[in-house]
């Protein structure tokens, strides 16, 4: 087995562990959760939305399974030209990053629900910051596809546009995620949100600037591409 294959299987295994942990953690504390339980929080981490325990306790784990399944196996429903490109992208790592982040978010919600004064705290922004850093690190290694990456029409117009956009997006999201992580640790949710928004919007604007500098080809739609 090659090192690349071994690494890919390791990410699949870690993803499965994160999914199992989400359900196991929920089952372990379910009887102690309030009914209804807080499931939505404002920018300061205070609860402002509740759900019945039977729904709120299992919502995130079930959604995580759906998100991870779509991320990991979504390429199978795409045309062959796109499918091959996506298969060559770091999809397994992205699936693990999403599963780990959602597990962390779910753990914070459960902890808040079990507290006398429910609060999420800045840890939620730390988690999102780490996710953005992780995405930023793999964006430059992502092949052109309409499923994952900075997927504007300008970026999808050509391989050159795509590569330049993903490189810029990688820097933007890594920096933005780092700022959000630090802001969350320092208790500044407004700065964390601003950093995440800027790092998400800037690559889309950059793709437009890149497209203006030269023509692109037609996005692939068949196995010949």
**Do residues 100 and 187 both lie within one domain?**
no
Query: Are 190 and 147 in a shared domain?
Result: yes
Please report, for residues 85, 147, 164, 183, the alpha-carbon distance to residue 215 in angstroms, rounded to integers and kept in the order given. 21, 22, 14, 40
**pLDDT grade for 84, boundaries at 50, 70 and 90:** confident
The boundaries of the domain holding residue 199 are: 122-225
Segment holding 8, helix H or strand E: helix 3-29
pLDDT, residue 218, reads: 41
Residue where a domain terminates, one of 103, 121, 139: 121
In this structure, what are the phi and psi dihedrals at residue 188, rounded to the nearest 5 degrees? -120, 80
Beta bridge partners of 32: none
CA distances from 3 to 7, 13, 15 (A): 6, 15, 18
pLDDT tens figures, 107-144: 999 999 999 888 887 889 999 999 999 999 999 999 99
- Quote the pLDDT of residue 217: 46
Compute the average pLDDT of residues 82-95.
Answer: 89
Q: Is the pLDDT of residue 93 over 50?
A: yes
Same domain, 113 and 130: no
pLDDT of 3 above 80: no
Helix (H, G, I), strand (E, B) or coil at 143: coil
In a shared domain, residues 106 and 130: no
72 shares a domain with 39: yes
Last residue of a domain, one of 121, 148, 172: 121
pTM score of the predicted model: 0.86
Confidence bin at 2 (pLDDT 50/70/90)? low
Q: Are residues 109 and 137 in the same domain?
A: no
pLDDT band at 222; cut points 50, 70, 90: very low
* pLDDT of 60 higher than 90: yes
Look at the chain and report how many structural domains it folds into. 2
């Amino acid at each position: 087995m090659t090192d690349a294959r071994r690494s890919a299987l390791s990410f699949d295994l870690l993803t499965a562990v994160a999914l199992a942990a989400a359900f196991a953690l929920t089952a372990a504390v379910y009887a102690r959760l309030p009914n209804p339980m807080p499931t939505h929080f404002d920018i300061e981490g205070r609860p402002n939305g509740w759900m019945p325990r039977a729904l709120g306790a299992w919502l995130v784990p079930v959604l995580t399974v759906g998100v991870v399944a779509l991320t990991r196996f979504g390429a199978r429903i795409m045309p062959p030209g796109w499918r091959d490109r996506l298969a060559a992208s770091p999809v397994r790592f992205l699936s693990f990053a999403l599963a780990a982040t959602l597990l962390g978010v779910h753990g914070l919600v459960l902890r808040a629900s079990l507290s006398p004064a429910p609060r999420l705290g800045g840890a939620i922004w730390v988690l999102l910051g780490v996710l953005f850093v992780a995405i930023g690190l793999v964006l430059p290694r992502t092949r052109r596809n309409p499923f994952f990456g900075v997927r504007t029409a300008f970026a999808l117009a050509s391989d050159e546009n795509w590569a330049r956009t993903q490189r810029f997006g990688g820097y933007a999201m890594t920096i933005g995620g780092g700022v959000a992580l630090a802001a969350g640790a320092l208790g500044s949710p407004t700065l964390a949100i601003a950093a995440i928004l800027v790092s998400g919007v800037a690559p889309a604007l950059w793709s437009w600037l890149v497209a203006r500098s030269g023509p692109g080809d037609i996005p692939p739609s068949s196995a010949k591409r």
